[in-house]
Chains A and B, each alone.
Chain A
Amino acid sequence: EDKVVQSPLSLVVHEGDTVTLNCSYEVTNFRSLLWYKQEKKAPTFLFMLTSSGIEKKSGRLSSILDKKELFSILNITATQTGDSAVYLCAVATRDSGSSGGTSYGKLTFGQGTILTVHP
C-alpha cells in the first residue's frame, strides 16, 4: 500500500522564522511528488518535483526531492502570517488503469503539516 508521511504534524513559529517541512514516502511506481497549500478551501499547487537534487524555488518557498532516500523537504524563509495554512505533500504514481492503459490520476497524500505563524 502506498504511504506518505509528513512531519511535523504541526508547527508554531513567529514572523521572520525559517521553517522546514518534511515528507517521506513509500510507493510503487513513483511518478512525481507535489506540495500543496490549503487554507480554507482548495489545495493550491506549490511545486511538482520529479528529479532528485534539483531545487525548485518560488519567492520565499523552495523544495527539493531525494529519490534515493525517498523524501522531500519544503523550506519557507522569512515566514509571514499569510503563510499560516496546512501544507500537504502528495505523491503521484503510474498505475495500471482499471480499463487498460496507464493512469497518472491518483495522488496519495500525507496527513499535512499545520503551520501557524504568529506576528
Chain B
Amino acid sequence: KAGVTQTPRYLIKTRGQQVTLSCSPISGHRSVSWYQQTPGQGLQFLFEYFSETQRNKGNFPGRFSGRQFSNSRSEMNVSTLELGDSALYLCASSSGRGDQPQHFGDGTRLSIL
C-alpha cells in the first residue's frame, strides 16, 4: 500500500509570492491534516480536510488555506509569503474517525528568501 505522497519535496520562493503544496493520502483515507514544523515552534496543526470540507483549523493567519478534492487529494496554499513561513510542511492522512493513527508524508521543505 503506497504511503502519503507530498510534492514538491523542496521549494524556494521569495517574499510576497504564493505557493501551492500537494498531498496524496493513503488509498481509502478520507482525512488529510496539514502541519507546519519549525525548529522554534515544533509541529503545529494548520487544518484538517475531510470529504472535501475543512473540518478543523489551527491558529494560523488567513494567508494559509487549503482544499480537498473528491479523490481525497489535498492542496495547501500560502499567499504573500513571509520569511517566517520557511518550514517543513507535513501532511498526514487517516480514516478521519479517530480510531486509527495519522500517517505522515515526507514533507515539503519551503525556504523563503
Contacts and interface: CB of A to CB of B under 8 A. Distances in A.
Interface of A: 31-32, 34, 36, 41-45, 48, 88, 90, 92, 94-95, 97-99, 101, 103-112
A41 B54 contact: no
A45 to B, nearest CB: 5
A97 B97 CA distance: 12
Nearest to B58: A106
Contact of A106 (B45, B90, B101): B45
Interface stretch (B10-18, B79-87, B102-110): B102-110
Contacts of B45: 106-108
Contact of B50 (A43, A105, A110): A105
Interface size class on chain B is 20 to 34
B55 A98 contact: yes
Given A42-B107, A112-B42, A95 B101 contact: no
Contacts, number: 80
Nearest to A99: B53
28 contacts: A34-B101, A41-B106, A41-B107, A42-B3, A42-B4, A42-B90, A42-B106, A42-B107, A45-B101, A48-B100, A48-B101, A92-B98, A97-B50, A98-B57, A99-B53, A101-B55, A103-B56, A105-B32, A105-B49, A105-B94, A105-B102, A106-B56, A106-B58, A107-B45, A107-B92, A109-B43, A110-B42, A111-B42
B43 A88 contact: yes
Given A104-B96, A104-B97, 15 more contacts: A42-B106, A43-B90, A44-B104, A97-B55, A97-B56, A99-B53, A104-B98, A105-B49, A105-B55, A105-B94, A105-B96, A106-B58, A107-B35, A110-B42, A112-B42
Given A32-B98, A42-B105, A42-B106, A105 B56 contact: yes
Contact of B42 (A36, A48, A109): A109
B24 interface: no
A78 B43 CA distance: 29
A104 B99 CA distance: 9
A104 to B, nearest CB: 3
B72 interface: no
